[in-house]
Structure 1
Amino acid sequence: MRIQKRIFRATREGNFKQVKKLQKLLSGSREAILLSIRRVTQINRGRFTSGVDGKVYRTNEEREMLACEILNTKLKVYRCAPVRRVRIPKPGKMEKRPLGIPTIRDRVFQMIVKLALEPEWEAKFERNSYGFRPGRRCMDAVTQIRINIVDRKGYTSSSWILDADISKCFDSIDHEALLQKIPVFTSIIRQWLKAGVVEFGQYYMTKAGTPQGGIISPLLANIALDGMERLFGSIRSSGKYAVPSQRRGNDKGIGVIRYADDFVITAPTRERIVNYVIPKIRDFLGSVGLTLSGAKTRIVHRDEGLDFLGFTIREFVGKRVRACLVQPSKVRIAYHLNRVKSLLDENKQATQAEIIDMLNPILRGWASYYKYANSKKVFSYVDYRMWVMLWQWCRRRHEREGKGARWIVSKYFRRVRTRYWTFADAPEHALFYAGDMKLSMFRYVKVKGEASPFDPELNEYWFKRQKME
C-alpha cells in the first residue's frame, strides 16, 4: 500500500507526529480493511481454522457480511474474544507447542493494526534481525553468520559463538514492557495480550506473553527483542551502522544475528562471551520479562559449529583454503526422512500416482529450502534413502502375489531424461529428486543492510531481487 511507504519515510525522517496521523488514517481506510479480510480469509494458511466462536468465512457472501461488520466497528469500541488454545507437536520432539488461535474477526483487526505498525518498525528494526520480516528469510541470517565466522578473504575476528535459547519466549514477554515501546494502538494491543485462553472449555487469564497463532504476535515479539544488537555498539554517535570489526573496546568483533526468538552472537574469545556478552544479554532480556535457557544455551568454537534454523554451520580448514560450511542439519534430515516414511506407511493402498502427488510438494519444499547450502552430498543421500523406502513400499504392495524384482522394476521404475530407476508412472509424471538440482546455479545474495520493501527509494532493488528468486 502506498500509505505504508509514507509511514516508513516519515519514520526515517523522525516525523513521528505524521507517522501517527498516517497510521490512524490507514487503520480506518476501506482499502486496508478489505485487504486484511482477503489475507485472513482467503490467503493465510489458517483461513479455515476457527477461534472460540467456531466461525469461518468461506463464501463471498460471508466475507461481505464480515466486511460490513468491521467497517461499522471503530477501534475505540472494539472488544476482542479469548483465543482458543490447541497444542501441536514440535518437529522432531515429543513435547507439544501451545498455539492460541483468535477468532477470524479478531485476526482481521490484528491484520489492520499490523499493516499500520509494520512500516514504522521496519524503519527502526536492527539490520541483523531477520525473522518474520518482509523481504527477509532464514538464509539471510545463515549467510550473515557465515560472514561473521569466515569472510570472503578467509579472515575473521569471531572464533567463538554463543548459541542462545530464550526460555518460553512467546509465553513470557512482559506486557507492560512491550506496550511502553508502542505509542499507538496501545489499548487494542493490551486487549489482545490480556484476552485470555480457552482450553477444553476452561478459561484462563494471560498475565504474560503473546499468543502463538495470532497474526500480530511475531511483530510484537520482534518489537520486544529489538535493541539486542545495539547493546554492542552497532550504532555510532553519528547514527551510522558500525560493523563488528569497526567497533571499540569490548564491543569490537561482537556480532548479533537474530531470527525471531532464535539468536547467535559471535565474538573473538570465549572469555568475552562469558564475562561481557552473557551478562548484558541477561539484563536486556530481563527488562522484557525473558530469561536465557541454561540447559539449551551453549558456547561453541567455530570448528565445532552449531545448528541454526535447520542448518549446521561450521568452519572448514583445508590445506589452502578456509571456509564456512553450511549444510542441512542431521536432525532435520532425519525428520524429513521420517516424515516421508510415515506418509508411505499410512498410504500402503494408494496408487503410484497418488504417492507421487503426495510426496512431490514435500520433496520440492525441502530441497528448495536447502538449495543455497552445501547440500550436494546430502541430497544424494536423501535420494538414496528415498529409493530404499519406495522399493520397500513396492515390495509390500505385491508381497502376497509373489511378484519378483524384475516385475516391480518394470511396473514402478523407468528412465526419465538422464536418470535411471526413476519412480514414475509416466515420463511426464515422475517423483522429484533433490539430487537432480544443479546447485551451482544457486548462489544466495543476502538482503542489503537495512533495506525494506516499504522504502520508496528501493523499488528497483526489490524488483530485481524478486526476479532473482
Structure 2
Amino acid sequence: MRTSDTILGLIHERGRKGLPLERVYRLLYQPDLYLRAYGKIYRNHGAMTKGVTAETVDAMSVAKIETIITALREGTFHWQPVRRVYIPKRKGGKMRPLGLPDWSAKLVQEVMRMILEAYYEPRFSDHSHGFRPERGCHTALREIQTQWTGTVWFLEGDISRCFDALDHHLLVSILRESIHDERFLALISRLLKAGYLEDWTFHNTLSGSPQGGIVSPVLANIYLDKLDKYIEQTLIPAHTRGEQRQDNQEYTHLANLSRYYRKKGERDKANQFKRQAQHLPSLDTSDPNYRRCKYVRYADDWLIGFIGPKSEVEAIKHQLEEYLRDHLKLELSGTKTLITHARSECARFLGYDVQSLHNNTKRTHAKRCINGRIGLRVPHSVVQEKRQRYQRQGKSRHRQELTVESDFTIIAHYQSEYRGLVDYYRLAYNLRSLNTLKWVMEQSLVKTLAAKFRLTVPQVYRRYKATITAQGRVYQGLQVVRAREGKKPLIAQWGGVSLQWDSKAILNDQPPRIYGGRTELEKRLLANTCEHCGTTDHIEVHHIRALKDLTKYTGRDKPEWVKTMAARHRKTLVLCRTCHLDIHAGRPLTRHTSSS
C-alpha cells in the first residue's frame, strides 16, 4: 500500500509539469489517504455536528474507511443532501446559509480536496491567496504593500453571489481539461447536485459550490483561476507600457540647483532647494508612455491597482465585466465594484483600508519620503463596530452570556478576542488605534467579572490585577492562575498584547497541509488496541466536543474514562466497541482496565 505522502507527491509533480491527471478515481481506494484526511479534519468544529443522519466523527474506525472504499469501488456510494442551517454574518447582522454534510461525506471530500490541491496548487496564480497552503489574507496584503508603490487608481472587485453562482457544467468542463477520469468527474458532478434539506424539505442545487463542503474552496479556486489567467495573460500585458517613468523636469532642476550651491559651499541655499525638491516626485507621475497594472485575489475578493488615467481603469472594469459574464457566467456587482483614487481615498480590501501614502517630510530609513508607498490602515468603522459589541448606549457593559463561565474562561475569552483582532491588523500602520477598543473591552471584562461574583469594579481590579511581562516589556493587566497537581499551572491573562506595527507580519490562514508524518491519533487508531481494556477487537474512536465537557463529571466517583481523557488532555479515546457502547449508555466500563 502506497503512503499518502507518496501518492500526493506524485500528483503534485504531475501538476507542476502540466501533465494531465489520470486514473484518479482509483486513488479513492487508498486507505492511507482516508487516515490522513481523518487526521486533518477530526479537530474541526463541525466534526461532531450531525448532517441529515446521526453520523458524526464519533466511532470513527478503520472498518468505516473500508466500508466507504467498498461503496466507492462498487458504485454504491451516494452523496446525501446537506442539512442547511443559518449562521450570522460578521457584518450587518444578516444570516447566511451553511450546509452540514454527514461525516462520511466530509471524509471523502477531504480526500478529494487533498488530491485536487496537490495537483492544482503548483498551477495556481502567485496572485491568488485564498484557501491555499502557507498563504492567507496577510500574504495578499503584503503583496500589495511591497509591490504596488506608485499606484494611482484602485479597482475593487465584487462578484455578485460568487460561490452560489458557479456554473456546474462549466466547473466540470474546466476540471475535464486536466483530469482525464470521467468516473471521478461524475463523482464531483453528483456532489454539486446533491441538494440540501431545510426544515426537512429537499431542495435541488442548480448552481454554486457545496455550502459547507470541505472541497468547495479548492473547486472555487479552480473555477476562478480562469479569471486569474485572463487578467495576467491578457489584461495586464495590454495595460503595461514603458520601462520606467520619465524624470520629473521640475524635480531634476531643483536637485541640480541644490548640488550646484552645495559645491559652491552655500549650504543654506542648497538645503532650501533640496527641501523644495522633496515636495515633488522625482519621476513624472503623468508620463503618457508609462502604464502599470497589478492584481491580487483572495477567494472572491480581488483588487486591481493601476498607474495611468481613470479612463483606462474604466475600460478594464468593462473588459472584466464582459469576461465574467461571457466566459464564467458570473456577474460583476455594479454598485460594489468601485474605482477609487489611491491618494485621496481608501480602497477596502480584506478588512483593511488601502491607500497610497503622501508625506513629503517623513523619512523611512534611507528613503527621501513615503510618497507613493502603499499604506494599510485599520478602518475607523471597524473599531467603532467592535466597540458596540461591548457597549450599550455608549458605555461598557457586562456580557451576561459569559457569567456562567469561570473567571479563568472569561479572562481567556476576552484575551483571545482582542489578540485575534490585533494579530489580524498587525500590518496596519495605525494599529495603535485599537487602544481605544482595548479600554472598552477591559471595562466590559471587569464588569462581567463583577456581575458574576457580585463585586464592585475596584474589587475586581484588586483581586485580579497583575504585572505581565511579554516580548521583553512590562504591562499592567489581569490574571488568573489555575493550579494543577504535578503540572505547571494554567494562566489566563488580560493584557500584554503589543500594539507595535509589524509591516512584515504574516498570519497564514492555511498552514502546510500536504506532507508530513502521521498524527498521533492516526498512530493510536492503527495500533488497534483499546486504551481502556487492551483488547484488539472492533476498535473505534470516542470523541467529545471539548475538554470542558469532562467537567460535568464531578466528585471522587468520576468514570475511569473521564479520568484518562482529563489526565491526557485529549478529546479522543481509542476504545473497543464494547467499552465505547458502555460510555454512551452511561454504564461503568464492564471490561477490566488494561495493565499497560
Find the counterpart in structure 2 of residue 26 from structure 1: 27
Match of 2:461 among 386, 390, 409: 409
Q: How does 1:215-294 map to 2 (within 5 A)?
A: 215-234=214-233, 252-268=291-307, 269-294=309-334
Per-residue CA deviations over 1:424-463 (Å, capped at 9, x if unaligned) read 24598453336435545x723799xxxx98799xxxxxxx
Match of 2:370 among 306, 310, 321: 321
Cα distance, 1:257 vs structure 2 = 0.9
**Amino acid of the residue matched to residue 357 of structure 1?**
A
Does residue 444 (structure 1) correspond to residue 484 (structure 2)? The answer is no
Moved more, 86-95 or 424-433: 424-433
SS at match of 2:97: strand
Q: 1:286 to 1:392 in 2, by over 3 A?
A: farther
| Contact 1:8-1:454 within 8 A present in 2 as well | no
Cα distance, 1:160 vs structure 2 = 0.7
| Contact 2:414-2:445 within 8 A present in 1 as well | no
Find the counterpart in structure 1 of residue 537 from structure 2: none
Give the distance between the partners of 1:108 and 1:372, measured in 2 at CA: 36
Moved more, 1-10 or 207-216: 1-10
Find the counterpart in structure 1 of residue 160 from structure 2: 167
Give the distance between the partners of 1:146 and 1:280, measured in 2 at CA: 24
**Amino acid of the residue matched to residue 146 of structure 1?**
Q
Cα distance, 1:338 vs structure 2 = 4.4
| Contact 1:312-1:327 within 8 A present in 2 as well | yes
| Contact 2:100-2:212 within 8 A present in 1 as well | yes
SS at match of 2:292: coil
Find the counterpart in structure 1 of residue 380 from structure 2: 330
SS at match of 2:376: strand
Q: 1:167 to 1:38 in 2, by over 3 A?
A: same
Find the counterpart in structure 1 of residue 494 from structure 2: 432
Give the distance between the partners of 1:95 and 1:177, measured in 2 at CA: 30
Give the distance between the partners of 1:54 and 1:90, measured in 2 at CA: 27
Q: 1:335 to 1:431 in 2, by over 3 A?
A: farther
Find the counterpart in structure 2 of residue 306 from structure 1: 347
Give the distance between the partners of 1:34 and 1:397, measured in 2 at CA: 44
Does residue 389 (structure 1) correspond to residue 444 (structure 2)? The answer is yes
Q: How does 1:143-182 map to 2 (within 5 A)?
A: 143-150=142-149, 156=150, 158-182=151-175
SS at match of 2:332: coil
**Amino acid of the residue matched to residue 217 of structure 1?**
S
Cα distance, 1:203 vs structure 2 = 0.6
**Amino acid of the residue matched to residue 34 of structure 2?**
I
Task: Name stretches of at least 5 consecutive residues in structure 1 with no aligned partner.
Answer: 151-155, 457-469
Give the distance between the partners of 1:424 and 1:446, measured in 2 at CA: 26
Cα distance, 1:311 vs structure 2 = 1.5
Give the distance between the partners of 1:446 and 1:100, measured in 2 at CA: 27
Cα distance, 1:363 vs structure 2 = 2.6
Find the counterpart in structure 1 of residue 423 from structure 2: 368
Find the counterpart in structure 2 of residue 43 from structure 1: 43
**Amino acid of the residue matched to residue 39 of structure 1?**
K
Find the counterpart in structure 1 of residue 55 from structure 2: 55
Per-residue CA deviations over 1:35-59 (Å, capped at 9, x if unaligned) read 223334x232311112111311223
Cα distance, 1:164 vs structure 2 = 1.4
Cα distance, 1:423 vs structure 2 = 2.1
**Amino acid of the residue matched to residue 295 of structure 2?**
V
Q: 1:201 to 1:351 in 2, by over 3 A?
A: closer
Give the distance between the partners of 2:55 and 2:298, measured in 1 at CA: 33
SS at match of 1:422: strand
Task: Name stretches of at least 5 consecutive residues in structure 2 with no aligned partner.
Answer: 244-287, 361-368, 392-396, 483-489, 517-596
SS at match of 2:33: helix
Find the counterpart in structure 2 of residue 5 from structure 1: 9
Give the distance between the partners of 2:304 and 2:241, measured in 1 at CA: 16
TM-score when normalising by structure 1: 0.81
SS at match of 1:129: coil
**Amino acid of the residue matched to residue 310 of structure 1?**
G
Cα distance, 1:414 vs structure 2 = 3.6
Give the distance between the partners of 2:291 and 2:88, measured in 1 at CA: 41
Give the distance between the partners of 2:480 and 2:501, measured in 1 at CA: 27
SS at match of 1:132: coil
Find the counterpart in structure 1 of residue 113 from structure 2: 114
| Contact 1:162-1:297 within 8 A present in 2 as well | yes
SS at match of 1:79: coil
SS at match of 2:375: strand
Give the distance between the partners of 1:245 and 1:446, measured in 2 at CA: 32
| Contact 2:68-2:77 within 8 A present in 1 as well | no
Cα distance, 1:392 vs structure 2 = 3.9
**Amino acid of the residue matched to residue 180 of structure 1?**
S
Cα distance, 1:421 vs structure 2 = 4.5
Give the distance between the partners of 1:312 and 1:226, measured in 2 at CA: 26
Cα distance, 1:242 vs structure 2 = 7.5
Find the counterpart in structure 2 of residue 72 from structure 1: 70
Q: 1:380 to 1:174 in 2, by over 3 A?
A: same
| Contact 1:90-1:97 within 8 A present in 2 as well | yes
Give the distance between the partners of 2:301 and 2:159, measured in 1 at CA: 7
Give the distance between the partners of 1:434 and 1:416, measured in 2 at CA: 6
Q: 1:371 to 1:280 in 2, by over 3 A?
A: closer
Give the distance between the partners of 1:354 and 1:224, measured in 2 at CA: 42
Identical pairs, percent: 24
| Contact 2:53-2:102 within 8 A present in 1 as well | yes
- Structure of higher CA gyration radius: 2
SS at match of 1:3: helix
Find the counterpart in structure 1 of residue 590 from structure 2: none
SS at match of 1:423: strand
Give the distance between the partners of 1:56 and 1:44, measured in 2 at CA: 12
TM-score when normalising by structure 2: 0.65
Per-residue CA deviations over 1:266-298 (Å, capped at 9, x if unaligned) read 122321121233333442344222111222221
What stretches of structure 1 move > 6 A for 4+ residues in a row?
Answer: 241-244, 246-251, 452-456
**Amino acid of the residue matched to residue 265 of structure 1?**
I
SS at match of 1:84: strand
SS at match of 2:84: strand
Find the counterpart in structure 1 of residue 132 from structure 2: 133
SS at match of 1:373: coil
**Amino acid of the residue matched to residue 301 of structure 2?**
D
**Amino acid of the residue matched to residue 17 of structure 2?**
E
| Contact 1:8-1:455 within 8 A present in 2 as well | no
SS at match of 2:399: helix
Does residue 93 (structure 1) correspond to residue 92 (structure 2)? The answer is yes
Q: 1:187 to 1:397 in 2, by over 3 A?
A: closer
Find the counterpart in structure 2 of residue 463 from structure 1: none
Give the distance between the partners of 1:422 and 1:432, measured in 2 at CA: 5
